[in-house]
Structure 1
Amino acid sequence: MDSKLTSRLDLLADNTLSIIFERNKLKDLKLNYEKYEATINKNLAKLKEGIKTLEQQLSAEEETGATNTNDDEDKLVQIQVKLNKLEVLLGGDEASARDILLGNKRGKTVRFSSPHMEVDPSDLENGQILQLQQRVIQDQDDDLDQLSLVIGRHRELGLLIGDELESHAQLIDETEIMVDRTDARLRKAKKKLDYVGRKVKDNSK
């Protein structure tokens, strides 16, 4: 089986996974996500075509009597598992995709061209599935980190708003004091004017 094609498909699946995550985030935020659709569909088509090619190659190897094909079978199934996740994620159901990876939900069965060969991804126990599980956990950790940053920013903003409100309250208090002082001065000035006015009247008599 073509190891270079296997590696390319594996990398393509990982790259497409990142694109779909970004696309889904934009969709949740009701932003323009359609710019990713063409790339995603093109990548999925390449993955399906590549998987078909690998199946044919593996079947040909078995027909020639090859017996050491277990590793190739595992690699092919791993790519199929990734494709299953991508298709589920593309539908927006991230929880179902994670269930498939964690073995809580049975994904699509991978069939090869040779008879009686059927492998279910949920029955696999290997390093690649563990890596995929770790990727899901890492995605969750990244989301929590982003949430923590947002909460931290909101807290800082709240503190700034609190400081601003406190400053405004001090300004209001100072303004009230100045108004009271000005009012007192005006009253005192009015009394003086009244006194002067009475004196003028008395002198004019």
Structure 2
Amino acid sequence: MDSWLSTYDSTYRLAQEIAEKIHERNRYLRNGENPVKINVTVRSLMKRLNESIGQLRNSLLRSVSTRQITQLEGDRRQNLVDELLTKERQLQDSFKSEGAAPDVIRSSLMTGGAAGSSQYNPWVMEEPEETRGLGVGELRQQQQRVIAEQDAGLDALSSIIARQKQMGYDIGNELEEQNEIIDDLANLVENTDARVRNQTRHVKLVDRKSGSCAMMVVIVLLLIAIVVVAVWPSK
């Protein structure tokens, strides 16, 4: 089992033990008995609880910073630590009340207290509906199920990202092929345009030569006509 979760379970049980001790202290006060010894015990347990929560926070920070766990798992564990901090403050408030506040009993930690009770119980407000009535082992199993579901969700997300990545590669390859085709068409158009320009210049050249030849023929014919007229005997 994960050492962090083991520490969390022991810390949670320690909080339960402190709640039982405070309940016992309050019972002493109601009966007029001296609660000095149990107060010393509660203070010692509260100190251990504070140190254990600090250990959980530091260990979680190292795990997240070194990426030993996923960000989702880090957020889930941070929520657990925040819940422990809230419970610690509630226990401190209950202990400092010297019996004036309602009892925080062990059964209320997991079941939400007696049905129909009108007393305020801070543990009931913090206990989510889906975990009420569950023991430590059952809570651990539920945590493992949640982690498994998160892992399955991450696997599905990873598959989607992989498919999108492959689609990106395919689109990139298709664009490269289209660009090559466009380049070939551009070269073909350029070559065709060059040939058209050459043919146009050739046609113009031939046309100019043809015009010059026709003019020469006309001039020759005129000269012949002049000569004929000149040498033709007059009547």
TM-score of the superposed pair, with normalisation by structure 2: 0.41
- In terms of Rg, which structure is larger? 2
